[in-house]
C-alpha cells in the first residue's frame, strides 16, 4: 500500500483560508460535475495500472529507450481508454486525453493520430472514404499522422514540392519527392511509429498543376512494419522538447496509391482525370483550423499546470525576512511573487473561457459548411489564427515566468517545468508560425477596416471598428467594461494606422505586396491588439454569464480574477492606451493601486484556485507542485534515483580522475 504522507503545514493553512468551494470551481472548469467525475474515474483507473509505473525515471533513459517505453505505455493507455470508452458515451474527450500526461511523461508518439489523422479523415473524406478508413483508424488497426511540412516549406504550403501525378490508365496517383527539400519533415510519430499518413501533395493531371490536396498513404507493411518499396522514412533526431514525439521525415519515389486515396470531400479527381473543384479551396486547410482552436485549450491547461506547481511551491518555500527578527516568510507573501503568479491563474481562466466560445463558433462553421454555407469561415479563420498565436505565446511566457518564480529548483527536470515549457514553446511554432498567423488575421482586419469605412455591417468580432468610427471616444472610467472598450480603441487605432501605412506606401508607388511588407510590423501589432481586445471582452462576458449560476462566494473570486487579468494588461499596455484611448495618467495611477488591491484579494485563495484545476500529482509529475507540498523530501527522493547515486564510487574515478589527480600531484 502506498505510504500516506502528512500534508505540509503551510498548505494546510492556505487551504483553510480559502473563501470559496474548490470543488464547485473544478466542476465549472471541467464543464460540469459529471465531466469531473468521469475524468477522475479514468485517472483513477490509470493510477492502478501497474505496468504504467516507470521503474527508472524517463529522464535517465537513452533516446531509444525513452521512445520504446513511450510506445509501450501508449499502447497500454490506448487499450485502457478504449475499454473505458466502450462502456459509456464520453462527455469530454479532451478531459480524458489530459490523463495521458500521467502516463507519457513527454509527448506521445501517437499524438498526431487522434490529434490530426482521424480529424482529417472526418473533415476531408467523403462518406465512402470515412466508411473505409474511420473504423480502422478509430480502432487503431491503422496508425497515422499528418505529413504536410517539408524540409523546404512549412509556412507557405502552396509551395510544397511533393507531387501526386494522376495516371488515368491505372487510376492511381504517383507520389514523388523530387528534391531533398521536398522531403516531409516534422510529422509526429512518422519516425518509426505510424504505418499510414495523410500526405499533403501538389496534384498534377496531364501536366497541369491543381494545387495541394490530402492523400491517405500506407507507408509501412502492416505485418513487418518495414517501409514499403518507394518509401524512405526515418526519425529527425533530438529536439528542444518533444523527446518521445517521434517526429519523422518521409520521401517518395514513384510510389503509387489508388485514386480513392485522395480525400475528396472538397475537390475530386474523376476516373478519367477530370478535376472537380470544391466550394472553397481553403477547406483543404480545415484540420489546421480545428487544431488552432484546440491549442487555445492546450494553452489553458499548460498554464494551469505551471501555475499549480509555482503557487504551491511559493506557499511552501520560505526565504528571507520581510522584517528583522521575524521568521523567514513564505515567498508567496512577496508582492513581486504574487505579480508573477496570479496572472498565471487568471490567464488559464481567460484561455478556458475563450476556448468555450471559440469551440462553439468552430462547430457552427462546420455545421454551416455541411449546408454549403461558408459566410462565417473567414471570421473563424482570423479568430483561430490570432488566438492560437497569442495564447501559445502568452503560455510560453507564463510557464517560463513560473519556472523563474521557483528559483533554482525550477530548473530541475523533476520540477517538470522544463517539459511543460517544451510543450508550450513548440505550440508557438507548430500549426502555423506565430508571426505568420498574426499576419493572416491582419489580412482579415485590413478588409474589415475597408468595409467599416464603406459603412458595411461587420462580423461580430470586428463590429467595434464601426462603433469606433461612429462615436467619440467614451469618457474614461476604470471599470472592466470601459477598459475593454479601451482595448478595442487601441486595436481600432492600430488597425487604422497599419491600413494608412499601407496606403501611404502604395501612393508612393510601391506594389501592394511591398507596401504590406513595409507595414508588417504595424500589422502584427494591430493583430496582437485585436487578440487582446477579443480575449478580454470574451473573458469578461463569459465571467458575467457564469457568475449568475454559481455561488456568490465563487462569483466574487471569478470577478477578482477577470479584473486582475484586465488591469494587468491595462498596465502592461498603458503606453498604447494613452495614445489610442481617453485614459489619463491619473487613471493609470488609480489602476496601479487597484492591481495591488486585487493581488491582496486573491492572495488567500491562491492555493484554492490552483487546487481547483484538479491536476493530479501523477499528471503534474512535479517535486515542487504536489498536493502534499513535500517539496524537499521529493527533491531528495528524486535525486536518489540518479544512476550516479547507485554506487559509492563511479568507475570514471579509477579510469580517469585518479590518474589525472596523480599526475597533477607530481
Ligand atoms: C494561411 C497560410 C499562411 C498561407 O496560405 P496561402 O498562401 O494559401 O493563402 P493566402 O495567404 O494567399 O490567403 C488566401 C486566402 O485564404 C484564406 N485562408 C488561409 N487559410 C485558411 C483557412 N485555414 N481557412 C479558411 N481560409 C483560409 C486567407 O484568409 C486568404 O483569404 P483572402 O484571400 O480572402 O484574404 C498557409 O500557408 C498556412 O496555413 N500556413 C501554416 C502551415 C501550418 O499551419 N502547418 C501546420 C502543419 S501540422 C502541424 O504543425 C502539427 C503540429 C502538431 C500538432 C499537435 C496537435 C495535436 C493535438 C493533440 C490533441 C489531441 C486531442 C485528441 C483528443 C483525443 O485523444 O481524443
Ligand atoms: C514540435 C513540432 C511539431 C510539428 N509537427 C508537425 C506535424 O505533425 N506535421 C507537420 O506537417 N508539420 C509539423 N510541424 C511543422 C510546423 O507546422 C512548421 O514548423 C510551422 O508551420 C512553421 O513553418 P516553418 O518551419 O517553415 O517556418 P518558417 O516559415 O520557415 O519560419 C521562419 C521565420 O520566417 C518567418 N516567415 C515565414 N513566412 C513569413 C511571411 N509570409 N511573412 C513574415 N514572416 C514570415 C517566420 O515568422 C519565422 O520567423 C511541427 C513543428 C514543430 C516545431
The residue whose CB lies within 8 Å of the most ligand 2 atoms, and thus the one to mutate among 106, 429, 441, 514, is 429
Candidate from 92, 209, 431, 459 with most ligand 1 atoms within 8 A of CB, to mutate: 431
The overall average pLDDT reported for the chain is 96
Instruction: State the ligand closest to the CA atom of 383.
Output: 1
Q: How high is the ipTM of this complex?
A: 0.98
| Residue with CA closest to ligand 1 atom 4 | 156
Q: Contacts by 481-486 with C-beta closer than 8 Å and gap 24+?
A: 481/540, 483/536, 483/566, 483/567, 483/570, 484/533, 484/536, 484/537, 484/540, 484/566, 485/581, 486/570, 486/577, 486/580, 486/581, 486/582, 486/583
Nearest atom in ligand 2 to the alpha carbon of residue 146 is 9
> How many residues in total does the chain contain?
666
Q: What pLDDT score does 87 carry?
A: 86
206: pLDDT strictly greater than 70: yes
Give 430-465 pLDDT, tens digit per residue: 999 999 999 999 999 999 999 999 999 999 999 999
The Cα–Cα gap between 429 and 396 comes to: 11
pLDDT at residue 666, as a whole number: 62
C-alpha count within 13 angstroms, C-beta hemisphere, residue 544: 7
Could you report the per-residue pLDDT of 263-291, keeping only the tens digit for each?
999 999 999 999 999 988 889 999 999 99
CA distances from 377 to 28, 137, 161, 214, 340 (A): 29, 28, 27, 20, 37
φ/ψ of residue 582, rounded to 5:
-90, 15
- Among the listed residues 172, 169, 158, 141, the one whose alpha carbon sits nearest the alpha carbon of residue 261: 172
- Ranges in the chain annotated CATH 1.20.140.10: 287-460+478-611
400 labelled catalytic: no
Residue % of the chain over a pLDDT of 70: 99
Mean pLDDT value across residues 328-352? 98
Ligand 1 contact, 427 CB (< 6 A): no
Kindly tell me the burial class for residue 4, based on how many C-beta atoms sit within 10 Å of its own C-beta (0-12, 13-18, 19 or more). Answer: exposed
Cα 143 from chain centroid?
A: 23
Select from 109, 433, 516 the residue to mutate for testing ligand 2; criterion: most ligand atoms less than 8 Å from CB: 433
pLDDT of residue 89: 86
Residue 19's pLDDT band, with cuts at 50, 70 and 90, is very high
Cβ–Cβ contacts within 10 Å for residue 256, how many?
Answer: 13
For domain 287-460+478-611, give the CATH superfamily.
Butyryl-CoA Dehydrogenase, subunit A, domain 3 (1.20.140.10)
* Distances, alpha carbon 48 to alpha carbons 1, 4, 74, 514, 616, in Å: 11, 16, 15, 60, 14
Ligand 1 centroid – CA 347 distance (Å)? 25
Q: Is the pLDDT of residue 55 over 90?
A: no
pLDDT of residue 663: 87
Our answer on whether the CB atom of 434 is closer than 6 Å to any ligand 1 atom is no
Looking at the predicted structure, is the pLDDT value of residue 1 above 80? no
Cα-atom radius of gyration of the chain, to the nearest Å?
A: 27
pLDDT classification of 2: cutoffs 50, 70, 90: low
1-10, 119-128, 419-428: least confidently modelled range: 1-10
User: Is 146 in contact with 117 (CB distance < 8 Å)?
Assistant: yes
Considering every ligand atom shown, identify the ligand nearest to the alpha carbon of residue 96 and give its number. Answer: 1
pLDDT at 579: 96
- Which of 235, 431, 528, 542 is the catalytic position? 431
What's the CATH number for 115-278? 2.40.110.10
Closest CA to 102 of 154, 151, 54: 54
Q: Is 551 strand, coil or helix?
A: coil
For ligand 1, say whether the CB of 443 is within 6 Å of any of its atoms: yes
pLDDT category at 225 given cuts 50, 70, 90 is very high
Start-end of CATH 2.40.110.10 domains in the chain? 115-278
pLDDT of residue 434: 98
| CA dist., res. 307 & res. 313, Å (int) | 10
Q: Is the CB–ligand 1 distance for residue 158 below 6 Å?
A: yes
Question: Ligand 2 centroid to 159 CA: how many Å?
Answer: 13
C-alpha 159/C-alpha 175 separation (Å) is: 16
What is the reported pLDDT for 105?
A: 85
CB of 82 shorter than 6 A to ligand 1: no
Residue nearest to atom 26 of ligand 2 (CA): 154
Chain centre distance of CA 351: 10
Amino acid at each position: 500500500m502506498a505510504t500516506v504522507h502528512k500534508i505540509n503545514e503551510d498548505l494546510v493553512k492556505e487551504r483553510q483560508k480559502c473563501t470559496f468551494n474548490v470543488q464547485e470551481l473544478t466542476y465549472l472548469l471541467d464543464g460540469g460535475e459529471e465531466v469531473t467525475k468521469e475524468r477522475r474515474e479514468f485517472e483513477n483507473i490509470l493510477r492502478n495500472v501497474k505496468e504504467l509505473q516507470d521503474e527508472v525515471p524517463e529522464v535517465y533513459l537513452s533516446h531509444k529507450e525513452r521512445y520504446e517505453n513511450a510506445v509501450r505505455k501508449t499502447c497500454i493507455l490506448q487499450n485502457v481508454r478504449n475499454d473505458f470508452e466502450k462502456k459509456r458515451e464520453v462527455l469530454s474527450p479532451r478531459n480524458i486525453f489530459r490523463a495521458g500526461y500521467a502516463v507519457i511523461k513527454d509527448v506521445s508518439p501517437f499524438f498526431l493520430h487522434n490529434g490530426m489523422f482521424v480529424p482529417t479523415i472526418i473533415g476531408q473524406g467523403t462518406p465512402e472514404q470515412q466508411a473505409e478508413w474511420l473504423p480502422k483508424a478509430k480502432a487503431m488497426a491503422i496508425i497515422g499522422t499528418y505529413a504536410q511540412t517539408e524540409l523546404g516549406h512549412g509556412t507557405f504550403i502552396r509551395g510544397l514540392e511533393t507531387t501526386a501525378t494522376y495516371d488515368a490508365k491505372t487510376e492511381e496517383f504517383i507520389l514523388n519527392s523530387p528534391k531533398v527539400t521536398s522531403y516531409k519533415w516534422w510529422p509526429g510519430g512518422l519516425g518509426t511509429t505510424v504505418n499510414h499518413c495523410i500526405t499533403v501533395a501538389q496534384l498534377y493531371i496531364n501536366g497541369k498543376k491543381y494545387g495541394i490536396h490530402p492523400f491517405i498513404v500506407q507507408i509501412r507493411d502492416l505485418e513487418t512494419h518495414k517501409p514499403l518499396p518507394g518509401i524512405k522514412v526515418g526519425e529527425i533526431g533530438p529536439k528542444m522538447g518533444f523527446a518521445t514525439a517521434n517526429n519523422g521525415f518521409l520521401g517518395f519515389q514513384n510510389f503509387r496509391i489508388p485514386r480513392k486515396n485522395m480525400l475528396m470531400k472538397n475537390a475530386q479527381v474523376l476516373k478519367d482525370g477530370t478535376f472537380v473543384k470544391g466550394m472553397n479551396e481553403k477547406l483543404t486547410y480545415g484540420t489546421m483550423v480545428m487544431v488552432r482552436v484546440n491549442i487555445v485549450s492546450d494553452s489553458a491547461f499548460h498554464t494551469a499546470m505551471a501555475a499549480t506547481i509555482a503557487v504551491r511551491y511559493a506557499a511552501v518555500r520560505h526565504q528571507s525576512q520581510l522584517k528583522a527578527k521575524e521568521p523567514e516568510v513564505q515567498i508567496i507573501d512577496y508582492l513581486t511573487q504574487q505579480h508573477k503568479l496570479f496572472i498565471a491563474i487568471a490567464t488559464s481562466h481567460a484561455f478556458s473561457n475563450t476556448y468555450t466560445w471559440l469551440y462553439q463558433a468552430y462547430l457552427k462553421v462546420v455545421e454551416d459548411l455541411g449546408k454549403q454555407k461558408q459566410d462565417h469561415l473567414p471570421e473563424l479563420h482570423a479568430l483561430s489564427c490570432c488566438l492560437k498565436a497569442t495564447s501559445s505565446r502568452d503560455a510560453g511566457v507564463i510557464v517560463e515566468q513560473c519556472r523563474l518564480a521557483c528559483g533554482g529548483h525550477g530548473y530541475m527536470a523533476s520540477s517538470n517545468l522544463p517539459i511543460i515549457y517544451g510543450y508550450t514553446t513548440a505550440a508557438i511554432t507548430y500549426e502555423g508560425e506565430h508571426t505568420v498567423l498574426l499576419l493572416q488575421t491582419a489580412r482579415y482586419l485590413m478588409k474589415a477596416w475597408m468595409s467599416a469605412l464603406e459603412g458595411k455591417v461587420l462580423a461580430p468580432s470586428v463590429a467595434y471598428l464601426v462603433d469606433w468610427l461612429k462615436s467619440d471616444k467614451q469618457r474614461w472610467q476604470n471599470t472592466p467594461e470601459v477598459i475593454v472598450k479601451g482595448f478595442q480603441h487601441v486595436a481600432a487605432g492600430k488597425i487604422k494606422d497599419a491600413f494608412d501605412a499601407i496606403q501611404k506606401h502604395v501612393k508612393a508607388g510601391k506594389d501592394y505586396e511591398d507596401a504590406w511588407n513595409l507595414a508588417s510590423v504595424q500589422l502584427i501589432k494591430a493583430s496582437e491588439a485585436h487578440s487582446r481586445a477579443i480575449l478580454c471582452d470574451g473573458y469578461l462576458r463569459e465571467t458575467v454569464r457564469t457568475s449568475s449560476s454559481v455561488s456568490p462566494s465563487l462569483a466574487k473570486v471569478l470577478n477578482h480574477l477577470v479584473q486582475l487579468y484586465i488591469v494587468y494588461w491595462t498596465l502592461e499596455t498603458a503606453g498604447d492606451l494613452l495614445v489610442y484611448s481617453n485614459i489619463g495618467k491619473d487613471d493609470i495611477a488609480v489602476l496601479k493601486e487597484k492591481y495591488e488591491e486585487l493581488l491582496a484579494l486573491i492572495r488567500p485563495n491562491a492555493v484554492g484556485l490552483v487546487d481547483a484545476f484538479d491536476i493530479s500529482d501523477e499528471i503534474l509529475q512535479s517535486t515542487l507542485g504536489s498536493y502534499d507540498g513535500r517539496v524537499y523530501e521529493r527533491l531528495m527522493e528524486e535525486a536518489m534515483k540518479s544512476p550516479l547515486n547507485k554506487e559509492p564510487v563511479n568507475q570514471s574515478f579509477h579510469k580517469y580522475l585518479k590518474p589525472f589527480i596523480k599526475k597533477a600531484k607530481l
